[in-house]
Structure 1
Amino acid sequence: MNSYRTVTLACNNDVIRTCKVVIRSGKTGSICHISRGVASLLTRAHASVPRREEPPPVSDSDKRPNLRAIDLARKIRQEKQKGHATGGGSDAAVLNPSVPVSQLQKRVIELRQFTQQLQNVHPNVLAKHLHRGLILPHPELAVVNKPYGVSVQDGSSNKNNISDVLPILAKMMDGIRAGSQLHVCLGLDKEATGTLLLARTEEALDHVQNLHKNHQVERKYWVVAVGVPVPSEGVIDIPVIERKVTGAQPHFKMGLSPVYRVSDGGEGVTKVRANRQAQGAVTQYRVLDSSNGCSLVELQPITGVKHQLRVHMAYALGSPILGDHKYSHWTKLAPQKLPDGVLRRLGLEQSKARYLPLHLHARQLTLPEFKGQSDITVSCPLPKYFTSTLRRLQIPIPDE
């Protein structure tokens, strides 16, 4: 039942109006309903009374912690890594702690990240890295330890290459001396590592190139081969030619162009007409050691044809270089197919074999009697991923 009560409203001790208020009884207490006129009057009366000042409300932006520039950069980098991990990027680019990976996979992932950093960093950073890998400080020559995955010349517009940073490297070597310059004498493949010979004068460049044309520059490479070449040492003298491979993925590869073929009866060989576009290619090889289905092979190219060592190892000896995904197959472009025993030794699944880097290292370089001086011989240490692979395969490293 409703009851009515008369209430007098006052402000500052002055009676304003006498109103009738309806009070309804509830189960838990009484609720007072005031008409609209009374509510507005109460509001005006309450506003006129001095109020204690309250602190201003705190906005969401004031609640956020102050981020330094380095914190913000780290946060953006982590978000990008999460995007690569979930958005279709290479699963080798980011280490996912929830997915167990082998030690070799971790090393390959780190190598890929390091390679990408060198390709995309500021040219000064790449030049500093090359300067730290300087091996031969010579008045007219220099040898640097070429890193894996960086092109020597003709890099794309958004990728670093060594030729573009040579002016910076020259200034690091000679200070601010005017006229400092460096020239690439003998190039290396993008995926190869090791001794990269540079000339500090044009005269030295011409001299080295003449020595190279006359086959007087001795270069030795170390490779990890899948299989063991038979015989254990010899000379491969088979011309090489670039051919187009047709199929689902048409592409070009360097291939063999032999001048002899096995006769139909199999009792001998028959000489065939040489292709005019084929280039003579000669490689000396020697097996240094072998174990668990793989071998460490020393290669000495007599000629300098494109991809000569890779083609001779894969198609002439039948022992492709570990990590050579291009020349492990002829009819297709696919990751290198590895034997089960090799995969177990490497701690790797076949689906992850595409992350293996090319195990091709320019180990040693010899120049004969350079400008009246004695022979110059320079050796370059093996990269970490190369030595790690040898340890897993239980192939000892020769003491040289």
Structure 2
Amino acid sequence: MDALRVCRWVSGTWRPRFGAGLRRRNAGFGTEARRRPQPQASSKRKDPVEDQPFPGLLRTENLGVEELVNVLRAAVVDQKGRPGELTLLSVLPQLSQALGLGHRELQVVRAPGKEASGLVLLSSCPETASRLQRFFAQSRRSQRPTATYCAITDGIPEPSEGTVSVALKLDRMDGIDLAVPVTSPSRKDILEGVKRTLSHFHVMATGCGCALVQLQPLTVFPSQLQVHMALQLCPVLGDHTYAARVGTVLGQRFLWPATTTKPQRQVLDEALLKRLHLSPSQVAQMPLHLHLHRLLLPGTRSRDPPSELLAPVPSYFSRTLQCLRLSQK
């Protein structure tokens, strides 16, 4: 595949220091946090967990165009071929220059949602991009998952493995497009934008009332995985949009009506806040713990098996796993 580039996206930003190379074996979720030596400027050592509640999280509002391009360039994990609002799309021309592509334009082939982290597939070759899109479309039609996400949820899904199948539509509320479930959609609904969505989920580990969940979407719809986990009464940590749909009365969870529930900061109970070493005010800054961990790509020839790309989770994700004592069994 000519001119293929894959980068790791971290919650609205790109995280540097991610080594280059195509990984072909499943390396797990990379849950162990990497420790760096700390300067001993004082004999009184502060708790690094409390000092850095979300380590590794960079935000685009703190970066200039040139800085973001440099971070993007450093985040490339695999490269084949020749070497207003600040967004990924707005800096693709500069990134193309930084990667030595000249006037060849980069386009996004596959990416996680806006607030999720993980692999982003870019291509400067239209033929390669079309081939990849055909592969993903054919895989969806045959219900073969090509993307694997990992998420940390507030709550433990029951059963521990299954599928979520629900029709969704986009409904505008307070200037925001929100994914809303539709019960028994008619043919007219489908023609007007309602889409049937499907995801597989599998609980990998549990602890402290939370779960590490593997998610594989078989359809594409905005915020699909976040909505699906909310419907399981287990919203993703850091979901400040759809977690509000899950209410609790006397320890029992239930769903509020999606069409009347406005997005708001996620509310976590005191025990979970203590476990995460967070204050209530810090929860508002918690990034979405949803990470595109693995992508399958077509082989070089039609008869070749798919290859895979893996991206370890961000350091704030690893920190949360450690705080909750979640480890993949």
- TM-score with structure 1 length normalisation? 0.60
Gaps (5+ residues) in structure 1?
1-100, 143-156, 260-271
Partner residue of 2:76? 134
Superposition CA RMSD, Å: 2.6
* 1:217–1:126 distance in 2 versus 1, CA, 3 Å: farther
1:350 to 273, 280, 286: 280
Counterpart residue number, 2:319: 388
Give the aligned partner of residue 224 of structure 1.
Answer: 152
Give the alignment of 1:178-197 within 5 angstroms: 178-197=102-121
Distance (Å, rounded) in 2 between the aligned partners of 1:172 and 1:371: 30
SS of residue paired to 1:386: helix
Q: Which amino acid aligns with 1:162?
A: L
1:257 equivalent to 2:182? Answer yes
Question: Between the two proteins, what is the percent identity of the paired residues?
Answer: 27
Structure 1 equivalent of residue 92 of structure 2: 166
- Amino acid of the residue matched to residue 120 of structure 2? L
The 1:342/1:281 distance shift into structure 2, 3 A limit, reads same
Contact map agreement 2:153 2:213 (CA 8 A) in 1 = yes
CA distance in 2, matches of 1:322, 1:361: 12
The match for 1:292 is 208
- Residue number in structure 1 paired with 2:234: 319
Does structure 2 conserve the Cα–Cα contact (< 8 Å) formed by 1:254 and 1:311?
Answer: yes
In the alignment, what sits opposite 1:302?
Answer: 218
Amino acid at match of 2:171: R
Decide whether aligned partners of structure 1 residues 240 and 103 sit closer, same or farther in structure 2, where only a CA change above 3 A counts.
farther
Is the Cα–Cα contact under 8 Å of residues 192 and 361 in structure 1 kept in the other structure?
Answer: yes
More helix as a share of residues: 1
- TM-score after normalising by structure 2: 0.72
- Select the residue among 170, 176, 184 that pairs with 1:242: 170
- Distance in structure 1 (CA, Å) of the matches to 2:145 and 2:326: 29
Mapped contact 2:239–2:288 kept (Cα < 8 A): yes
- The Cα of 1:360 is off from its aligned counterpart by 0.8
After superposition, the Cα gap between the structure-2 partners of 1:102 and 1:356, relative to the gap in structure 1 and judged at 3 Å, is farther
User: Quick one: distance in 2 between partners of 1:220 and 1:165?
Assistant: 27
Going from structure 1 to structure 2, the CA distance change for 1:292 and 1:217 (only over 3 Å counts) comes to closer
- In structure 2, the CA distance between the partners of 1:392 and 1:170, relative to structure 1 (3 Å rule), is same
CA distance in 2, matches of 1:202, 1:376: 20
Greater RCO (CA < 8 Å, at least 6 residues apart): 2
Shift of 1:354: 1.2
Contact 2:153/2:211 (<8 A) preserved: yes
SS of the aligned residue for 2:52 comes to helix
CA distance in 1, matches of 2:312, 2:86: 23
Quick one: distance in 2 between partners of 1:384 and 1:235? 29
| Residues 26-64 of structure 1, C-alpha deviations (whole Å, 9 max, x = no match) | xxxxxxxxxxxxxxxxxxxxxxxxxxxxxxxxxxxxxxx
**SS in structure 2 at match of 1:230:** coil
**1:182, distance to aligned residue in structure 2 (A):** 1.6
The code of the aligned residue for 2:234 comes to: S
**Pairs aligned (count):** 261
Task: Give 1:188 shift.
Answer: 2.5
Equivalent of 1:122, from 64, 81, 100? 64
Identify which range, 377-386 or 128-137, moves more after superposition.
128-137
Alignment check: 8 A CA contact 1:184 1:199 kept: yes
Alignment check: 8 A CA contact 1:217 1:367 kept: no
CA contact (8 A) 2:55 2:315 kept: no
> Which residue is equivalent to 1:364?
294
Larger radius of gyration: 1
Question: Cα offset for 1:169?
Answer: 2.2
Q: Which runs of 4+ in 1 moved over 6 A?
A: none
Shift of residue 190, structure 1, vs aligned partner = 2.2
Structure 2 counterpart of 1:192, one-letter code: A
Q: Which amino acid aligns with 2:222?
A: K
The alpha-carbon deviation at position 391 of structure 1 amounts to 0.2
Gaps of 5+ in 2: 1-45, 246-260
TM-aligned CA distance change 1:358 to 1:104, over 3 Å: farther
- 2 CA distance for matches of 1:339 and 1:196? 34
**Does the 8 Å contact 2:53/2:278 carry over to 1?**
no
**Alignment partner, residue 107 of structure 1:** 52
Structure 1: distance between partners of 2:124 and 2:300: 14
Quick check: 1:370–1:376 contact (8 Å CA) kept in 2? Answer: no
Using the alignment, how far apart are the partners of 1:297 and 1:396 within structure 2?
11
